[in-house]
């Protein structure tokens, strides 16, 4: 990689100073190695091979300085190739960008302390300026390498996240989902939440990165993806979902936002994800739905849209339970709804006291979790009983 370094006006030193620099490249490299051992605690923890690689980089840096001051007319230098050799990724596997810059600073400090004192008096200030200008360009060049690598990793991570989202939605085998989750660094074993809404117009990499940072403020794990016009969040280890919506709801485009929760691991979250997607499709059928809305609150609309999972839930959790409970609970609900939600009319129709109707409706609420006396809950119960008869 060749970087246009900006060293257009190189410092010109005397031939005597150049000779001193040539003859002291070895001692300077030794001095730098000593400084690295003394100043950087993490350097001492590296393997012998890694330390040797970093000392080689320091040696190349000193040689690069010599090449530059020997050729003051050079307008650009292949700084990264000079320093890192043919495989700059080796450096990035060994140390982070922060440590790479610490490395450069330590090398510069060592050279700055030793080299000017070796120079003829008239060249000392010029050589100091050369060291500082050259090290500045080296730092920028290495930072550029790390930045490009980070962009590549970000693009690759986005592809891995998209594959994980697709695997969860498609209901792939648990082992495959767990493998894909491990590839993106997923660690949570419970409290999975899937959120689906419309994607904003500008859902670029910067937007996705910002949204991911917002998610990890209330979730242990976060996967962000866009499929068509839908923005999908798969979160793990979520404790306070309401706090989370305060942070991320504004990131979605216009329209409804639907979520579904799963207490287990992500490898078993297929039904949760399917419910969220089905709910997002069916949400327009409930005009008064809150934003966001739980997929479990959209069971009638999902059933109307052909969601077999919603139909199964309505029948098993409501119709079957009421049928098993007996005591006229199912008949009471059906009559109460058909009589316009009137306790008195229901009592007359069933030839019982009004308090008996009220007691039975209370039992229905206790058994199903849905209150027949609330219009929305009554609609859910009515749909469930109709599906049960079918």
Q: Are residues 195 and 291 in the same domain?
A: yes
Q: Residue 346 is part of a domain; what is its CATH number?
A: 1.10.10.2840
CB atoms within 10 A of CB 187: 10
Residue 170 lies in a domain: no
How many Cα atoms occupy the beta-carbon half-sphere of 127 within 13 Å? Answer: 26
**What is the pLDDT confidence band of residue 151, given thresholds at 50, 70 and 90?**
low
Res 2 pLDDT > 60: no
Residue 103 lies in a domain: yes
- Read off the pLDDT of residues 38-47 as tens digits, 9 standing for 90 and up: 888 888 887 7
Are the beta carbons of 38 and 117 closer than 8 angstroms?
Answer: no
Q: What's the predicted TM-score (pTM) here? A: 0.61
Residue 62: closest CA among 101, 28, 19:
28
Residue 158 lies in a domain: no
Res 59 pLDDT > 70: yes
- Minimum mean pLDDT range among 34-38, 123-127, 146-150, 285-289: 146-150
Residue 319 lies in a domain: yes
Q: Residue 280 is part of a domain; what is its CATH number?
A: 3.30.70.2730
Task: Tell me phi and psi for residue 195, to 5 degrees.
Answer: -120, 130
Are the beta carbons of 29 and 58 closer than 8 angstroms?
Answer: yes
Q: Are residues 142 and 19 in the same domain?
A: yes
Domain that holds residue 106: 15-152
Coil, strand or helix: which one is 191? Answer: coil
Q: Are residues 294 and 336 in the same domain?
A: no
- Read off the pLDDT of residues 75-106 as tens digits, 9 standing for 90 and up: 444 455 555 554 445 555 566 667 777 777 88
pLDDT for res 290? 93
Listed residues 247, 268, 299: the one ending a domain:
299
Q: Are residues 250 and 194 in the same domain?
A: yes
Q: Are residues 271 and 338 in the same domain?
A: no
Res 135 pLDDT > 50: yes
Are the beta carbons of 294 and 363 closer than 8 angstroms?
Answer: no
Q: How far apart are CA 226 and CA 241, in angstroms?
A: 21
pLDDT for res 80? 52
**What is the pLDDT confidence band of residue 8, given thresholds at 50, 70 and 90?**
very low
Residue 166 lies in a domain: no
Mean pLDDT (whole number) for 213-234: 87
Neighbouring-strand partners of residue 194: 234, 260
- Read off the pLDDT of residues 226-270 as tens digits, 9 standing for 90 and up: 888 889 999 998 888 888 898 899 899 999 999 999 998 898 888
**What is the pLDDT confidence band of residue 6, given thresholds at 50, 70 and 90?**
very low
Are the beta carbons of 174 and 222 closer than 8 angstroms?
Answer: no
Listed residues 270, 299, 328: the one ending a domain:
299
- Read off the pLDDT of residues 267-291 as tens digits, 9 standing for 90 and up: 888 899 999 999 999 999 999 999 9
Residue 307 is encoded by which pair of tokens?
């969601």
Q: Please tell me the total count of domains within the chain.
A: 3
Pairing of strands 258-262, 230-236: unpaired
Res 296 pLDDT > 90: yes
Give the strands of the sheet with 230-236, arranged side by side: 221-227, 230-236, 192-198, 258-262, 293-294
Q: Are residues 294 and 322 in the same domain?
A: no
């Amino acid at each position: 990689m060749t970087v246009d370094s900006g060293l257009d006006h190189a410092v010109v030193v005397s031939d005597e100073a150049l000779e001193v620099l040539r003859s002291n490249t070895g001692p300077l490299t030794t001095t730098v190695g000593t400084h690295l051992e003394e100043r950087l605690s993490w350097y001492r923890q590296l393997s012998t091979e890694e330390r040797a690689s970093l000392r080689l980089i320091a040696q190349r840096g000193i040689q690069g300085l010599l090449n530059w001051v020997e050729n003051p007319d050079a307008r650009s230098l292949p700084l990264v190739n000079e320093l890192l050799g043919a495989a700059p990724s080796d450096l990035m596997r060994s140390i982070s960008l922060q440590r790479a810059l610490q490395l450069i600073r330590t090398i510069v400090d060592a050279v700055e302390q030793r080299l000017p004192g070796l120079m003829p008096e008239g060249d000392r200030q010029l050589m100091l300026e050369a060291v500082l200008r050259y090290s500045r360009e080296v730092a920028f060049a290495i930072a550029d390498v790390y930045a490009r690598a980070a962009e590549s990793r970000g693009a690759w991570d986005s592809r891995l996240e998209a594959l994980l989202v697709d695997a969860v939605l498609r209901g792939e085998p648990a082992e495959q989902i767990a493998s894909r989750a491990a590839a993106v660094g997923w660690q949570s074993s419970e409290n999975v939440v899937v959120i689906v809404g419309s994607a904003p117009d500008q859902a670029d990499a910067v937007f996705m990165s910002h949204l991911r940072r917002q998610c990890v403020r209330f979730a242990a794990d976060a996967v962000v993806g866009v499929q068509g016009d839908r923005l999908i969040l798969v979160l793990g280890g979520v404790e306070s979902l309401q706090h989370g919506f305060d942070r991320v709801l504004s990131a979605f485009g216009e329209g409804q936002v639907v979520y579904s929760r799963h207490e287990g691991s992500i490898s078993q979250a297929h039904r949760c994800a399917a419910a969220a997607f089905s709910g997002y499709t069916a949400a327009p059928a409930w005009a008064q739905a809150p934003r966001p809305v739980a997929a479990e609150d959209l069971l009638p609309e999902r059933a109307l849209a052909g969601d077999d999972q919603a139909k199964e839930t309505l029948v098993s959790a409501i119709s079957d339970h009421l049928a098993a409970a007996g005591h006229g609970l199912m008949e009471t609900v059906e009559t109460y709804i058909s009589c316009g939600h009137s306790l008195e009319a229901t009592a007359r129709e069933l030839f019982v006291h009004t308090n008996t109707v009220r007691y039975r409706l209370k039992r229905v609420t206790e058994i199903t979790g849905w209150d027949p006396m609330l219009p929305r809950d009554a609609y859910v119960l009515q749909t469930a009983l109709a599906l049960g008869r079918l």
